[in-house]
Amino acid sequence: MNIDSFDRLVGEFSRLPSVGKKTAQRYAYFLLTMPDADVQNFADAMLQAKKNIHYCKVCANFTDKEICDICSKPNKEPIICVVKEPKDVSALEKVREFNGSYHVLHGVINPLEGKGPNDINLMSLLDRVNKENIKEVIVATNPDVEGEATAIYIANLLKPLGVKVTRLAQGVAMGSELEFTDPVTLSRAIQSRREM
Amino acid sequence: MNIDSFDRLVGEFSRLPSVGKKTAQRYAYFLLTMPDADVQNFADAMLQAKKNIHYCKVCANFTDKEICDICSKPNKEPIICVVKEPKDVSALEKVREFNGSYHVLHGVINPLEGKGPNDINLMSLLDRVNKENIKEVIVATNPDVEGEATAIYIANLLKPLGVKVTRLAQGVAMGSELEFTDPVTLSRAIQSRREM
């Protein structure tokens, strides 16, 4: 189709993560078949979410309150789990292995992209560790190069404060096959082997 | 996250074709990281497209004019290509094997879903064949059960008018492997084999 408003809509859908032109066209065609009221609702949902949802003043996770539900919980353990993105909080909250709070960096240190420690939400973590009398910081950035580098940076930053800094264990994933596990993961799994 | 406006946005994204809850969440998270103005633009694009784009009065393809660009072209061949959906027009327009017009059914005959000939945009095709002095109708519905049934119905409907009714050739697709080609396609490819 050669219609400006269609192309514009396809362009907007293409901005979504992993959405190429073909998928964007599919979404746009689908939208045109939706009733007017439903499209209005969809657009409203976007604007409302963007308007209502902002960063928690404490942990910087998304919330529609001033301080998010997790940070406002009473009787939390004095543990902060540091993650790269809000969706990592969702993943970790599903397993509920600890009853502490989170700290969302909104990025990781990445010198190649010119991202230093001051370009992510890191310095407020120092304040929190002091003020909230934190005993342990679990660094749960992704197990990739930038995530590892960020974890090491955070460990060096926090250790002088006397707080325990831990990192998620690395090893073979449940249901995976040794044959197809990468060598780095395998060697870490051997290094951290545990007695049965 | 346990936020109403976030869940609502995820729900809206889930309506898009082949988008499950996980993908919808990914889109929603991404939207929250977009600048306010960009989200406003995205929502505007949806509303504008829905407002401006409607069915062409002749062929029922999507257009922002009263009669679409293809239908308004002068010196068209007296050929109508019948398709199920507007996106089929896009696919066929890319190859430009004929210089005629299209007719979009917006569905196919599907008794299991209670869809009869009057539930799709079929009857206006009869008028067009007469009025536009059409010599050939290419039935380009999908080569599946409903598409085939619809094609046969259209052929029976149009033949009394003296118009030539054709169907896209069926056979092995370019780049495919015989080993993995389904038996129906293979047998049609043999039946319609051509001399070299």
Asked if A6 and B49 touch (Cβ cutoff 8 Å), the reply is: yes
Whole-structure pTM value = 0.80
**Residue A44's closest chain B neighbor by CA?**
B43
Mutant choice from B4, B12, B96 vs A, greatest count of A C-beta within 10 A:
B12
- Which range among A23-37, A144-158, B86-100, B118-132 shows the weakest confidence by mean pLDDT? B86-100
Q: What is the nearest CA distance from B116 to chain A, expressed in angstroms?
A: 19
Residues in chain B within 8 Å Cβ distance of A1: 61-63, 86, 89-90
Question: Is the model's pLDDT at A129 over the cut of 70?
Answer: yes
pLDDT tens per residue, range B89-122:
988 988 888 899 999 999 999 989 999 999 999 9
Residues 6+ apart with CB under 8 A from B145: none
The predicted pLDDT at position A60 comes to: 96
Q: Is the ipTM of this complex over 0.90?
A: no
Confidence of residue A195 (pLDDT cuts 50, 70, 90): confident
B13, containing H or E segment: helix B4-14
Q: Which long-range contacts (CB under 8 A, 24 or more apart) does A14-17 make?
A: A15/B30, A15/B34, A15/B38, A15/B42, A16/B27, A16/B30, A16/B31, A17/B26, A17/B27, A17/B30
